[in-house]
Chains A and B, each alone.
Chain A
Amino acid sequence: AQKITQTQPGMFVQEKEAVTLDCTYDTSDQSYGLFWYKQPSSGEMIFLIYQGSYDEQNATEGRYSLNFQKARKSANLVISASQLGDSAMYFCAMREGLFDYGQNFVFGPGTRLSVLP
């Protein structure tokens, strides 16, 4: 069974607007971590933001925030004030187990975001 679902293969957003990239996950573990990575056209994988399953507050990192809804098993990435440089593939990932008790990162299929001028 697919553990990470990203239902939006492609998204468009106008520059300076906010955009939400969807991610749902499937796990029976109580302890897990959720990650978002950005992959620009140059190919490198850039870590953006992390949310632990026990974190009560949504994670934020600059213009990135993670809308974590544990009961719905969703971990949507919100990018505020989109910039042209945000155009890239975005991957949601999950690691079952926290800290050093789990190493199996599972990545979703990705969402390609295009920011329009």
Chain B
Amino acid sequence: DAGVIQSPRHEVTEMGQEVTLRCKPISGHDYLFWYRQTMMRGLELLIYFNNNVPIDDSGMPEDRFSAKMPNASFSTLKIQPSEPRDSAVYFCASRITGNTGELFFGEGSRLTVL
């Protein structure tokens, strides 16, 4: 079975540019999460969706960040404009209702903003 798929795996961009990260959750999973991992702050929850609806976006750092889930098999995290402090690894994770609740993570997207 395919796991959570993220793209791109690596992105290098210049400050001020728009960045779009993509995620395909595991088929049948009804929760999708976006996390950010940095050395300083560890793993932080940015936003999560249930059945494509954003439930909690309190972790989104500021208005430059936005996330969408237009359908059950696709989500995007957009940063516009990007800043050097956005450099991090961004993880997408999904889970299914009714099990013990473990998250299944993608391989992450490493973002570097110069």
Contact of A50 (CB < 8 Å), options: B31, B45, B100: B100
Q: Contact string, B89-102, partner A, CB cutoff 8 A, digits 1/0?
A: 10101000110111
Counting chain A residues whose Cβ lies within 8 A of the other chain, the interface size class is: 20 to 34
Residues of A within 8 A of B101 (CB): 33, 50, 95, 98-100
Contact of B42 (CB < 8 Å), options: A42, A46, A95, A107: A107
In this assembly, does A12 line the interface, its C-beta being within 8 Å of a C-beta of chain B? Answer: no
Which A residue sits closest to B59, measured CB to CB?
A: A104
- The count of chain B contact residues (Cβ–Cβ below 8 Å) is 24
The reply to whether A43 and B102 contact each other, CB–CB distance below 8 Å, is: no
Which B residue sits closest to A98, measured CB to CB?
A: B101
In this assembly, does A103 line the interface, its C-beta being within 8 Å of a C-beta of chain B? Answer: yes
The reply to whether A109 and B42 contact each other, CB–CB distance below 8 Å, is: yes
Residues of A within 8 A of B45 (CB): 104-105
Extra pairs beyond A91-B43, A95-B101 (12, CB < 8 Å): A33-B100, A35-B103, A37-B105, A43-B89, A44-B107, A45-B91, A45-B105, A47-B102, A47-B104, A52-B100, A107-B43, A108-B42
Chain B positions near chain A (C-beta within 8 angstroms): 31, 33, 42-43, 45, 48, 50, 55-56, 89, 91, 93, 97-98, 100-108, 110
